[in-house]
Amino acid sequence: MPSKPGFSKKRPPERGDALLRLSNTDPLTGLENRRAIDQRLRDHWSDWQKHGTSFAAILIDVDFFKKYNDCYGHQEGDRCLILVADALTDSICSYNASIGRYGGEEFIVLARMETKEQVADLAETICRTVQNMALLHEQRRDGISIVTVSVGAAFTRNQAGSKLEKIIHEADRALYAAKASGRNCVKLFDPNDPQSSDESENVAALLKIATTQNLVSLVYQPIRNVSSGRVEAVEALMRLTMQDGTSVPPSLFIPIAERTGAILNLGYWAIRTVCHELLVDNHVRVVSVNVSPIQLKTPGFATSVAAILGETGVAGGRLAFEITEGLEMEMNSDILRCISDLKMLGIRIWLDDFGTGFAGLSWLRLIDFDTVKIDRSFLHDCSTPRGQAMLQDIIGLVRNRGHKILVEGVETDEQLALMREFRIDQVQGFHVGRPAPAESFHSPPPVDTQARLRRPA
Ligand code: C2E
Ligand code: MG
Ligand code: MG
């Protein structure tokens, strides 16, 4: 049988090489792709295990890239990635390093190095190189208007039972820390940082099994209407306990849940639990649930919430979602669409911890929040005239935009009196009530039932 053109049994070696190169190359940037870099990583790792040749793994993420794409279009987005890739390639050429595209807007550099200082130097060079390109990025809202990168680096270190994935995990932790410190900066993995410790890995593992093993629960804190004095709503706050009963503070486990994506399941669990524990039997009128922006940008979030409402028979108007700007401060079109879908279900959207982050003001412009919760730090600063003036200014700003105002952290009678004087709508804090389990909000049985209960059998 005559062989088909181009399919001779014996492939010419150049063609084989070309195919191999193709399968190892990222088509957009021409850098090595993830497959090739993973192989390189395995080689570096085995050299480190066998000969002690230390190396660094450096992850590089283009800051606010989604926003760049939204603003300038995908073609320009691609062009930006190519320019960054070229600049990064130039920046590492004097080091013993290789570079690859690790995914979307993430790049990776692997470099044989001897000291931590060398790693820091290379990571810093990478960061500054991109900054020096001065590519315009005018839509970011953090006061910078050029393309920058966040850089997380990890260096091989002697550890018992260490695995290959560990160094990437550590670089990822460092990258997260760089983003959390405002982006456009470099972080080296620090084993002593509690967020990157083994403890945080334990918590991450715990979160995966938390709902099925009953390690997670909700407590509720009352929210009082200042003029009527009535408890109008409660806020659901998540609690996590380890298998030995020790509790893990939300300030530790919520960021881990957000980072690992566990927040998605936990979030659905929280909404369902709130419905079952308090709303189905009308124990309270409204429950507010904290929802992280990561949940809002997950495709299908609003539909899943609608399904929970349908399954429990609870009306959307009985729920409020509190949103805090966290690491994810980009308010992109996906999030805005999700918020509008949630509003269609009748769910109210509140802005939590107003005044603490970078983006609060721009969020106020974009979203019609039902209620704005002013962070407790502003109330706690009210002991000085300057602090009091600051709180009044914030109240004026929020009121003029027509939102209801809730002040958090009311701990004393004097603070409550001040809130009355400032005509605040709602208050929350230890003085009004501490977070408590659902049962404390279950109304006592009607009087005649109580009488019957007391009667001897
Ligand atoms: P947050 O939503 O601002 O919740 C209020 C926090 O302030 C709670 O801490 C509450 O116990 C505390 N607090 C209330 N009143 C007072 C007061 O008078 N004085 C002081 N000093 N503190 C007061 P908690 O429960 O530790 O929660 C911390 C944060 O964790 C929450 O802040 C929220 O951002 C996050 N969080 C809690 N539960 C969830 C959840 O189910 N999902 C998500 N995504 N985040 C949650
Ligand atoms: Mg809250
Ligand atoms: Mg709050």
- Does the Cβ of 292 fall within 6 Å of ligand 1? yes
Q: How large is the average pLDDT for residues 167-171?
A: 90
Spatial contact of 434 and 220, defined as CB atoms under 8 Å apart = no
For ligand 1, what atom is nearest to the CA of residue 373?
A: 3
Average pLDDT value for residue range 184-206: 80
**List of residues 6+ apart from 150 with CB closer than 8 A:** 60, 61, 63, 127, 175, 178, 179, 183, 184, 185
Domain ranges within the chain, ordered by starting residue: 24-196, 199-454
Ligand 1 pocket check for 270: Cβ under 6 Å: yes
pLDDT at residue 325 in the model: 72
The four Cα atoms 420, 422, 427, 428 give a dihedral, to 10 degrees, of -110
Closest C-alpha to ligand 1, atom 19: 409
* Dihedrals phi, psi of 154, to nearest 5 degrees: -135, 150
Euclidean distance between CA atoms 33 and 36, whole angstroms: 5
CA 346/CA 157 separation, integer angstroms? 53
DSSP β-ladder status, 216-225 and 426-427: antiparallel
Give the C-alpha distances (Å, rounded to integers) separating 158 from 53, 54, 116, 167: 12, 10, 13, 11
Q: What is the pTM of this model?
A: 0.69
- Contact 426/398 with Cβ under 8 angstroms? no
More confidently predicted of 298 and 139: 298
Helix (H) or strand (E) holding 148: none
Which ranges of 323-422 would DSSP assign to H, the alpha helix? 333-344, 360-366, 376-380, 385-400, 413-421
pLDDT at residue 359 is higher than 80: no
The residue type found at 310 is G
What is 24-196's CATH number? 3.30.70.270
- Which residues are identified as catalytic? 105
Q: Which atom of ligand 1 is nearest to the CA of 254?
A: 45
pLDDT band at 194 (very low <50, low <70, confident <90, very high): low
352 close to ligand 1 (CB < 6 Angstrom): yes
The 3-state DSSP class for residue 182 equals: coil
What does residue 150 show for φ and ψ, rounded to 5 degrees?
Answer: -100, 140
Ligand 1 atom closest to residue 238's alpha carbon, by position in its atom list:
38
Structural Rg of the chain based on CA atoms: 27
Q: What span, in angstroms and rounded, lies between the C-alpha atoms of 143 and 161? A: 44
Ligand 1 contacts CB of residue 382 (under 6 A):
no
pLDDT higher than 60, residue 343: yes
- Range with the poorest average pLDDT among 4-18, 67-81, 188-202, 347-361: 4-18
**Confidence label for 358 from pLDDT (cuts 50, 70 and 90):** low
- Ligand 1 pocket: which of 237, 274, 353 to mutate (most atoms within 8 A of CB): 237
Distance CA 259, CA 141 (A): 22
Q: Which ligand is in closest contact with the Cα of 268?
A: 1
Q: Indicate the pLDDT class of residue 360, thresholds 50, 70 and 90.
A: confident
Quick one: fold of 199-454? TIM Barrel (3.20.20)
Is residue 88's pLDDT more than 50?
Answer: yes
Q: Cα(402)–Cα(372) distance, rounded to whole angstroms?
A: 10
> What pLDDT does residue 169 have?
86
d(CA 451, CA 444): 12
Q: Are strands 426-427 and 231-241 parallel, antiparallel or unpaired?
A: unpaired
CA distance 360 to 362: 6
Mean local confidence (pLDDT), 282-287 = 96
d(CA 105, CA 102): 8
CA of 447 to the centre of ligand 3 (A): 37
pLDDT at 453 over 60: no
What's the 290 CA to ligand 2 centre distance in angstroms? 5
Q: Predicted confidence band at 328 (pLDDT cuts at 50, 70, 90)? A: low
Using a 10 angstrom Cβ sphere, with 0-12 exposed, 13-18 middle and 19 or more buried, the burial of residue 94 is exposed
Average pLDDT of the residues in 396-422 = 96
Q: Is pLDDT of 3 > 50?
A: no
Q: Which residue has the higher pLDDT, 162 or 356?
A: 356
Residue with tokens 């609608």: 306
Q: Which ligand is nearest to the CA of 373?
A: 3
Q: Whose CA is nearest to atom 26 of ligand 1?
A: 250
